[in-house]
Amino acid sequence: MSLDTTRRGFISTGGAAALSGCVCAVPQPAVDEVKYIDIHAHCTEDPLPPMCGLGQPLCCAEQLIAHYDRLGIEKGCLLGLGTPENFIGGMSNESILRIAAAHPDRFIPFCVVDPRACGNTPFANLRDVLMHYRDRGCKGVGEVCAQIHLLDPRMQNLFRACEEVGFSLTFHMSPISGWSYGVIDENGLPELEMCLQRFPKLRFFGHSCAFWSEISVCTSIHGRNARGKGPVKEEGAIQRLMRKYPNLYGDLSAGSGAYALMRDPAYAAKFLTEFQDRIMFGIDICDPNGYVSPLPGFLRELCASGAISETVFRKVARENQIRELQL
Amino acid sequence: MATGSIDIHAVCVRELMAPVGGRHGVCDAAGLLALYDRIGVERGVIMPIANAECAPTSQANEEVLRIVAAHPDRFTAFCNLDPRNIYNSPTARMGDVMRHYRAKGCVGVGAVCAKLPITDLRVQNLFRCAEAERMPVALRVDGSEDYGAGLYDPPGLPGLRDALERFPALTFIATGAALWCAISVARMRDEWFRAATGPVKEGALAGLLRAYPNLVCDLSGPWGESAMTRDCDYAARFLTEFRHRVAFGIGAVSPEDVARELPRLPAFLADIRDSGKISPDVFDAVMRGNAKRILGI
């Protein structure tokens, strides 16, 4: 999709940069015309069967693009769902690449490699696998949803391979072992902290309720497994880790990311401003007729009201994604 | 090809997956059909790669349905569900999904290769749902608790025995190192993990086949081939006694292997037929008739 190059847009932001000789001298659209880049998208080539008595669990490409057009989203990162715990059957990285190839202006392919892939061993040669998909155009790894502790040797093997190949890694976190899906960590994210230390060149994109609940102090299992509610009275593990480790990023997708901000708009503005280079817009639409995050409107309101600057808005909406994924 | 054999355990993909150590694990459809034409296989029953442990990436049931739609005279589809699918729960509603795929033409579920104990509640839930839907389940039974792929069962196959007892209306189509190792009394612990060799002293498998009519043995993979070729005379007696319960299969083959060598099993079975060790009827049942009857194809 081409960027808006109207006079208004040029003057509002990009023009000054161009005249000053800045390397970012591409004219930019006005802030109210900025299109989002979705850091967290899913879709399938063919409709999947209904799950748990509900409807089609994931969009097909055309259904997701229709959502994007309605929500002002230019393009999205297509994450795989090859993890058995959160899916029906399997899903190949090749199918992600086929969808992205059919819609190159709307989708950016990621690959997903389960930490148990290639024989359920911490010695699996996942580096070769990741290099193959990197060479085919994938921009990152995710969504990693295996119900395995972050410090499990198989998970560590995957992280090491991702770091060597230069991929980012998007994870969904679960608050408890033996239930549902997502990588497992305790309250306060001690295992994540060890991973951030051990793999300093691996960029971790955190997502899900168990991750975003840590924007505030939260100790109950129910709290860790629900969208955040109420003001952020005391900062949680996310801020502590983001201040200490430059390789932790926030993926705002789904209700978990949206409500981590919407629970306390005043704090959200402060949070986005402090971590403006490491928070990324995402939407994680699954059911074609189901829940759609209110995040796009919320972020625009924060910007329109002056709670966050245009610069912060642009970074979170798309510029961080462009920089981190070298789009 | 009208009376060729039927491969009860085929694996193939639309596009080759990532190679590991310079080798692709699985052929594409064109590669598998080229192999079939060379060794006289009329039809293959494709089992989707749904378990995380098996390969670099998994495969959608819909992908297999597309392959079958492109080659309806050569392939039949299974659907596959990992026991951890639908939120990792022992009460997951898998029957709804199985019904969906049955309506799309899938004739069974599997091959279930998750690295879980066969007695795991999620595995038992999958068996329960398949039994209720009257869909056979293909499974790989493995001797390692930790590494590789396949449902773990210790020597003697007590977990498989329990499942056969608990789900009498479910047809189990089983393969794997542990399953085929049990054709004999294991001499060494490590035989449980690999394709065993040497003369056979009858093991647990024959007892299970005699006791439970819902067990079918799938000859695919190196384990099935080795179980037959390790002791030609016992193989002939085994196939003759269980002539209605053993089915020819190939399993996953890499494109590199297809170019280099053919599976030995078809030639071995033809040899023991030609030498009179098994009758032509037994040979035909194993190579074709049992798969047709059991799967209704």
A–B: how many Cβ contacts below 8 A? 156
For the stretch B182-211, pLDDT in tens is 999 876 666 666 777 889 999 999 999 999
Place of tokens 């349905």: B65
Contact yes or no for B53 and A117 at CB 8 A? yes
Q: How far is it, in rounded angstroms, from Cα B200 to Cα B184?
A: 5
**What number is the average pLDDT over the span A33-50?**
94
Q: Which of A48, A90, A146 sits opposite B59 (nearest CB)?
A: A90
**B39: domain CATH number?**
3.20.20.140
Contact yes or no for B55 and A118 at CB 8 A? yes
For the stretch A203-230, pLDDT in tens is 999 999 999 999 998 878 888 888 888 8
**What number is the average pLDDT over the span A307-320?**
98
Give chain A positions within 8 Å (CB) of B62: 44-46, 48, 89
pTM for the predicted model, two decimal places: 0.91
With a CB cutoff of 8 Å and minimum separation 6, the contacts of B259 are none
Banded model confidence at residue A8, pLDDT cuts 50, 70, 90: very low
Contact indicator for A92, B57 with CB cutoff of 8 Å: yes
> Percentage of chain A with pLDDT > 70?
92
Which residues are registered as beta bridge partners of B141?
Answer: B151
With a CB cutoff of 8 Å and minimum separation 6, the contacts of B291 are B6, B8, B45, B247, B248, B297
Per-window interface: B 33-72 vs A, CB < 8 A: 48-53, 55-63, 65-66
DSSP for residue A49: P
Does the pLDDT at position B62 exceed 50?
yes
3-state SS track over chain B: CCCCEEEEEECCECCCCCCECCECCCCEHHHHHHHHHHHCEEEEEECCCCCCCCCCCCCCHHHHHHHHHHCCCCEEECECCCCCHHHHCCCCCHHHHHHHHHHCCCCCEEEECCCCECCCHHHHHHHHHHHHHCCCEEEEEECCCCCCCCEECCCCCHHHHHHHHHCCCCCEEEECHHHHHCCECCCCHHHHHCCCCCCCCECHHHHHHHHCCCEEEECCHHHHHHHHHCCHHHHHHHHHHCCCCEECCCECCCHHHHHHCCCCHHHHHHHHHHCCCCCHHHHHHHHHHHHHHHHCC
> Percentage of chain A with pLDDT > 90?
75
What's the pLDDT at B257? 80
Does the pLDDT at position B1 exceed 60?
no
Q: How far is it, in rounded angstroms, from Cα A290 to Cα A18?
A: 43
Q: Does A306 touch chain B (CB under 8 A)?
A: no
Banded model confidence at residue A24, pLDDT cuts 50, 70, 90: low
With a CB cutoff of 8 Å and minimum separation 6, the contacts of A90 are A82, A84, B48, B49, B50, B51, B57, B58, B59, B60, B61, B80, B82
Q: What backbone torsions phi and psi does residue A107 show, to the nearest 5 degrees?
A: -130, 145
Q: How far is it, in rounded angstroms, from Cα A102 to Cα B26?
A: 25
- Start-end of H helices in A277-319: 295-304, 310-314
Q: Does B205 touch chain A (CB under 8 A)?
A: no
Domain hosting B27: range is 5-295
Does the pLDDT at position A16 exceed 70?
no
Helix%, strand%, coil% for chain A, nearest 5: 40, 15, 45
Contact yes or no for B58 and A92 at CB 8 A? yes
Q: Does A133 touch chain B (CB under 8 A)?
A: yes
The total number of structural domains in chain B stands at: 1
DSSP for residue A12: I
What's the pLDDT at A80? 92
**Chain centre distance of CA A264:** 21
For the stretch B123-148, pLDDT in tens is 999 999 999 999 999 999 999 888 99
Q: How do the domains of chain A map onto residue ranges?
A: 1-33, 34-325
For the stretch B75-104, pLDDT in tens is 999 999 999 999 999 999 999 999 999 999
What's the pLDDT at A5? 33
Q: Tell me chain A's radius of gyration from C-alpha atoms.
A: 19
* Strand ranges of the sheet holding B5-10, from the earlier edge strand across to the other edge: B5-10, B41-46, B75-77
CA–CA–CA angle B139, B146, B180 (5° rounding): 40
Does the pLDDT at position B8 exceed 90?
yes
- Characterize the bridge pairing of strands B215-218 and B246-247: parallel
- Nearest-Cα distance to chain A for B129, in Å, is 14
For the stretch A120-144, pLDDT in tens is 999 999 999 999 999 999 999 999 9
Does the pLDDT at position B50 exceed 60?
yes
Distances in Å between the Cα of A299 and the Cα atoms of A206, A207, A262, A282, B78 are 19, 18, 9, 11, 46
What's the pLDDT at A54? 77
Question: For residue B283, with 0-12 CB atoms within 10 Å meaning exposed, 13-18 middle and 19 or more buried, which class applies?
Answer: buried
Does the pLDDT at position A293 exceed 90?
no
Kindly state the tokens that stand for B147. Answer: 């590494």
For the stretch A246-270, pLDDT in tens is 999 999 999 999 999 999 999 999 9
What's the pLDDT at A256? 94
Contact indicator for B11, B47 with CB cutoff of 8 Å: yes
**What number is the average pLDDT over the span A41-69?**
89
**What number is the average pLDDT over the span A279-303?**
90
What's the pLDDT at B259? 73
Does the pLDDT at position B25 exceed 70?
yes
Q: What backbone torsions phi and psi does residue A76 show, to the nearest 5 degrees?
A: -140, 155
What's the pLDDT at A227? 82
What's the pLDDT at A1? 32
Contact indicator for A68, A74 with CB cutoff of 8 Å: yes
**What number is the average pLDDT over the span B225-235?**
95
User: What ipTM did this prediction achieve?
Assistant: 0.91
Kindly state the tokens that stand for B116. Answer: 């879980």
What's the pLDDT at A22? 47
- Characterize the bridge pairing of strands A141-144 and A73-78: unpaired
Q: How far is it, in rounded angstroms, from Cα B264 to Cα B252?
A: 14
Distances in Å between the Cα of B121 and the Cα atoms of A151, B125, B178, B212, B260 are 25, 6, 20, 22, 42
What's the pLDDT at A81? 85
Q: Is A75 helix (H, G, I), strand (E, B) or coil?
A: strand
Kindly state the tokens that stand for B212. Answer: 């439970």
Distances in Å between the Cα of B238 and the Cα atoms of A251, B65, B151, B204 are 58, 35, 24, 13
Q: Does B103 touch chain A (CB under 8 A)?
A: no
Q: Which of A95, A113, A126 sits opposite B60 (nearest CB)?
A: A95
Q: Which of A89, A119, A121 sits opposite B50 (nearest CB)?
A: A89
Best of A58, A81, A85, A184 to substitute, by most chain B Cβ atoms within 10 angstroms, is: A85
The single-letter code of the amino acid at A110 is F
- Nearest-Cα distance to chain B for A133, in Å, is 7
**What number is the average pLDDT over the span A141-163?**
97
Q: How far is it, in rounded angstroms, from Cα B173 to Cα B155?
A: 19
Which class is domain A34-325? alpha beta
Does the pLDDT at position A45 exceed 90?
yes
What is chain A's mean pLDDT, rounded?
Answer: 89
**What number is the average pLDDT over the span B113-131?**
97
Which residues are registered as beta bridge partners of B6?
Answer: B43
Banded model confidence at residue B249, pLDDT cuts 50, 70, 90: very high
DSSP for residue A216: B
Does the pLDDT at position B263 exceed 90?
no
The single-letter code of the amino acid at A312 is V
